[in-house]
Amino acid sequence: MALQLIEAVGGRVLAVDSLGDPQGRPVFLLHGTPGSRLGPVPRSTVLYRLGVQLISFDRPGYGDSTRLPGRRVSAAAADVTTIADALGLDHFAVLGRSGGGPHALACAALLPDRVVRVATLVSPAPRDADDLDWYSGMTPSNVREYSEVERGLRHFADAFQLRSQQIRADPVTLIKDLVPELPPTDRTLVSDSGIRRMLLSTYREAFRYGADGWIDDVLAFTSDWGFKVEDITVQVRLWHGADDQFSPVDHSRWLADHIPGAELYLEPGAAHFGALKVMTEALKWAAG
């Protein structure tokens, strides 16, 4: 894993890691919310076998990437372009997990000449989606969190900053708090020592300098995304665990109904963290 600090417009810095085969087919992995470039990924040996060069980066405000106040979901396309240009990549695929899903779709919509395929795992849908009860089936903690966000910045920013300090000091607390709301399949997954180490690593890095990235993510999700999923023309594959309560499965159903030609895979018995088990297969598809 080689960390690069790449300069973006306005003097911002993006923290970027590349894994796997340097000569392989490039795939951008966009991390969840909260998260960082150090999130769960397949082993390097798996990436070499797939012939994949996996590129991950901290979204603005997370880890070592400079904050971009007021960013919309669409801003991810410009950051991916900046990184791709710096790495000399003309064409690439994009994979977004959970909160990375909308940002991956932004790349699909706004970079059709460069993005070859996009895959999302347990992605939320736009907050203003027609004919979708956005909160239906969502865990009480997420409903409370997003409800506070929609009331305005002053209602939740301080709470997020305090929570990020607690998690940075002891990342295990976030997993412990999640467990009571997890279905049995997710509880089994987060108890796996390898997955647990990767989750702890991504949370610790995410909050290295505070909760700015987390705050800006949830603000972006509940505002206009800056693009329409109906305008996407590249190949898109959506995966969702049928028992997911963090990003309810109806979100991917809605996306599948509105993204032209999108393929939807619903897995019975799987939930939110089930996305970690199918990441290798999603990468294989995205890389073509």
Report pLDDT digits (tens) over 84-122.
999 999 999 999 999 999 999 999 999 999 999 999 999
Rounded Cα–Cα distance for residues 191 and 223 (Å): 34
Rounded Cα–Cα distance for residues 67 and 87 (Å): 22
Q: What 3-state DSSP class applies to 115?
A: strand
Q: Domain range spanning residue 235?
A: 2-287
Q: How many CB atoms lie within 10 A of CB 176?
A: 11
Rounded Cα–Cα distance for residues 175 and 95 (Å): 24
What are the residue ranges in the chain where pLDDT is below 50? none
CATH of the domain at 41: 3.40.50.1820
Rounded Cα–Cα distance for residues 152 and 150 (Å): 5
Phi then psi for 238, rounded to 5 degrees? Answer: -110, 135
Structure confidence at residue 1 (pLDDT) = 59
Structure confidence at residue 158 (pLDDT) = 87
> What is the tens place of the pLDDT at every residue in 172-214?
888 888 888 889 999 998 888 888 888 889 999 999 999 999 9
Q: What's the length of the chain? A: 288
Structure confidence at residue 177 (pLDDT) = 83
Structure confidence at residue 153 (pLDDT) = 67
Rounded Cα–Cα distance for residues 54 and 206 (Å): 19
Structure confidence at residue 141 (pLDDT) = 87
Number of domains forming the structure of the chain? 1
Cβ atoms of 272 and 139 within 8 Å: the answer is no
